[in-house]
Structure 1
């Protein structure tokens, strides 16, 4: 068992909860979700399934792709991305249910909710990073692509996010005849969250677990 497992697990769960709340806020802003959530959100209209359930299914697919890319280099602990994804998906569904009455139609309020979702998501990411137990399957997939082909991780994430947004746009347009979940908020999230994490992560230096 990892050193300081319990406090690190609490930190991980807290980070996942904040990230899920960030997803919920971005959805309620009606300005588009983050790139990683754009596919589950658009497919929730196509398949009539919950966003959390589709998030879990996407995590499973991403883990399977990691297995194909890494082959024998895929390690058992990478399967821990699955329960983490299930917890994350459950948090999203619970928070969507708890906030189902929220409705935002004033653009200034929508922008505020979008920016707040970026801030909350960035804090959640910082907590997950500081927990240093396991990451979500999206980051795991980008890391696998980086390891397999020797690409820089940041570049893999950038191009991966673009691919996810394109999948969401093309799928929704092809089936429903309209674009769902991809708007200016998607671009704001893609640009803001990473920058906020870089600025905020050093401020979480007090969350240090010595091996």
Structure 2
């Protein structure tokens, strides 16, 4: 068992909760969700399933893709991404239910909510990184592509996010005849969260676990 397991687990769960809250706020802003949530959100209109449930299903697909890419290099501990994805999806559904009465129609308020969601999401990502236990399947898939083909991880994430958004756009347009969950907020989130994480992580250097 990793050193300081309970403390790190609490940090991980706190990070997942904040990330889920960030997803929830971005959905309520009606300006588009983050790239990683664009598929679950748009597909929730296609299949009449909750965003959290579709998030879990997407995690399963991403884990299976990691297995296909890595082959024998796929390690059993990477399956830990599945319970993390289930917890993340459950947090999203709980928070969506708790905030179902929220409605934003004033553009300035929508932009403010979008920016706040970026901040909350970035803090959550930092906590997950500092916990250093297991990451979400999206990052796991990008890491697998990087390892399999020798591409730089940052490039894999950038192009991977673009692919996710394109899948969401094409799927919604093909089935529903309109684009759902992808707007200017999607671009803002894609650009802002990574930048905020880079700025915040050094300020959280006091959070460390001695082995």
Q: Measure the CA separation in 1 of the matches of 2:198 and 2:139.
A: 16
Which residue matches 2:53? Answer: 53
Q: SS in structure 2 opposite 1:22?
A: helix
Partner of 1:5: 5
Q: 1:210: Cα distance to partner? A: 1.0
The aligned runs of 1:106-121 (5 Å cut-off) are 106-121=106-121
Distance 1:61 1:70 in 2: 14
Task: Give the distance between the partners of 2:16 and 2:147, measured in 1 at CA.
Answer: 25
Q: Give the secondary structure class of the aligned counterpart of 1:33.
A: coil
Q: Which residue of 2 aligns with 1:68?
A: 68
Aligned residue for 2:53, secondary structure, equals helix
Matched, 1:102 2:89: no
Structure 2 CA distance for aligned equivalents of residues 41 and 124 of structure 1: 20
- Counterparts of 1:126 and 1:207 in 2: how far apart (Å)? 10
Q: Secondary structure at the match of 1:3?
A: coil
Match of 2:19 in 1: 19
Residue 26 of structure 1: how far off its partner (Å): 0.2
Given the two structures, how large is their TM-score scaled by the length of structure 1? 1.00
Alignment of 1:151 onto 2:160 = no
Shift of 1:160: 0.2
Provide TM-score, normalisation by structure 2: 1.00
Counterpart-to-counterpart distance in 2, 1:9 and 1:203: 21
* 1:144-188 Cα distance to aligned partner (Å, 9 max, x none): 000000000000000000000000000000000000000000000
Please list every run of at least 4 consecutive aligned residues from structure 1 whose deviation after the TM superposition is greater than 4 angstroms. none
Unaligned stretches of 5+ in structure 2? none
- Deviations for 1:25-77, whole angstroms, at most 9, x for unmatched residues? 00000000000000000000000000000000000000000000000000010
Superposed counterparts of 1:129-140, under 5 Å? 129-140=129-140
Q: What does residue range 191-206 of structure 1 map to in structure 2 within 5 Å?
A: 191-206=191-206
Aligned length in residues: 211
Q: 1:168 corresponds to which residue?
A: 168
Q: Where does structure 1 lack aligned partners over 5 or more consecutive residues? A: none
Secondary structure, aligned partner of 2:206: coil
